[in-house]
Every structure is written in structure tokens, then in C-alpha cells.
Chains A and B, each alone.
Chain A
Amino acid sequence: KAGVTQTPRYLIKTRGQQVTLSCSPISGHRSVSWYQQTPGQGLQFLFEYFSETQRNKGNFPGRFSGRQFSNSRSEMNVSTLELGDSALYLCASSKTGQGPTNEKLFFGSGTQLSVL
């Protein structure tokens, strides 16, 4: 069974540009969440999608957005990139997104974004 797939693995952009990252969850998983990992701030929750709807959002500016498609694949977009957006962006999927809230997450290897 394939795991969570994130593309691209590495990305280099310049300030002011926008970027789109992609995440394909494990087959059958309907919930996708995104996390940002930086050396300074650590791992921080960005948002979560379930059945094409954003269900939860972390404390990030509106430049960070996302969406989920009917096949559960998800994309996140960052507009007007800033140097501080350089980070590892991790996507995680879970089976149902409902029921007991102790459901474990399965993470992808992430997209390493560098903003120059």
C-alpha cells in the first residue's frame, strides 16, 4: 500500500513568487492536514481538509491556502513568498477524520521549500 506522496521533494523560489505543493494521501484516507516545519518555530499546524472542506486552520496568514479534491488529493498554495516561508512542508493523512480523535496520522516525506 503506497504511503503519503508529496511532490515536489525540493523547490526553490524567489521572494514575491507563489508556489503550489501537492499531496496524495494513502488510498482510502479522506482527511489531509498540512504542517510547516522550521528550525525556529518547529512543527506548526497549517490546516486540515476533509471531504473537500477546510475543517481546521492554524494561525497562519491568508497567504497560505489549500484545497482538497474529490479524490482526497490536496494542494497547498503560498502566495507572495517571503524568506521566512522557507521550510519543510509536511502533509499527513488519516483514515476517516471522524470518530475518536486519537486517530493517528501518516506523514509524507515533505516538500523542502527554499525562498531566496
Chain B
Amino acid sequence: AQKVTQAQTEISVVEKEDVTLDCVYETRDTTYYLFWYKQPPSGELVFLIRRNSFDEQNEISGRYSWNFQKSTSSFNFTITASQVVDSAVYFCALSEGPSGSARQLTFGSGTQLTVLP
């Protein structure tokens, strides 16, 4: 069975600080996909990034970057120069494939990020 663990329940940082959100996953599949979603107070989940299990190349997209390490089953997400508008709950999610479905995501419990001015 697949499982996603986000050990950090809440994180508070001061604006402009960098912050890293941790995610550890468990899966028996060799093909899988990892995602980060953000949930602002309005409720809708907003897609941020995705990575498939074959590509461990870490990338940067604007202020977002991620570190995917299969050896430790981790998929950490970093926000550089945080802003107050980044305050939200962040979810890491996993889907298995090709037999799995991207629409069936297993979510972690979420990390509440608060960025203070």
C-alpha cells in the first residue's frame, strides 16, 4: 500500500526566509508520480509541481524548487524568499502507475505554512 508522510505539521517563517517542506513516501511500484499541492484558505487545491519516478533531476521553477531522492524516498519542496501570500497548507501526494490512476492520489497529512510579515 502506498503512504505519504509529512512529519511537519506546522511551520512559521518570517518573510523572505527560505523554507523546506519535507515529504517521505512509500510505494511498492517502480513507476509512480509525486506531486505538491497548495491549499489556501479558500479551499481549492492548487497544483504546484510533479515528478515521475524515472526522473530524479531536481529543478527550480521561480521561487519553487524540489529535491527528489529515490534512495531515501523523499520529495522535499523548497520555497525561496517566502512571501506572506505563500501562507497555506501544503500537501505532498503520490499516485502509482501505469496501472494506477493519476486521479487517485494518496495525500500526506499536510503542512501548515505561515509566513509572517
**Contacts A101-B33, A101-B97 given; does A110 touch B44 at CB 8 Å:** yes
Question: Closest CB-CB distance, B91 to chain A, in whole Å?
Answer: 7
Minimum CB distance partner of B100 in chain A: A101
User: What residues of chain A lie closer than 8 Å to B42, measured between beta carbons?
Assistant: 109
What chain A residues lie within 8 Å of B93 (beta carbons)? 43
Total A-B pairs, Cβ < 8 A: 75
The reply to whether A55 and B101 form a contact with Cβ atoms under 8 Å apart is yes
The majority secondary structure among interface residues of chain A is strand
Contacts of B95 in A (CB 8 A): 101-102
Chain A residues in 8 Å Cβ range of B71:
none
CA distance A35 to B43 in the complex (A): 12
A97 touches B103 (CB 8 A): yes
A-B contacts, 26 of them at CB < 8 A, read: A42-B107, A42-B108, A44-B107, A48-B101, A55-B101, A55-B103, A56-B101, A56-B104, A90-B44, A94-B102, A94-B103, A97-B103, A100-B102, A102-B52, A102-B95, A104-B47, A105-B103, A105-B105, A107-B37, A107-B44, A107-B46, A108-B44, A109-B42, A109-B43, A109-B44, A110-B43
Give A contacts to B, CB under 8 Å: 3-4, 31, 33, 35, 42-45, 48, 55-56, 58, 88, 90, 92, 94, 97, 100-110, 112
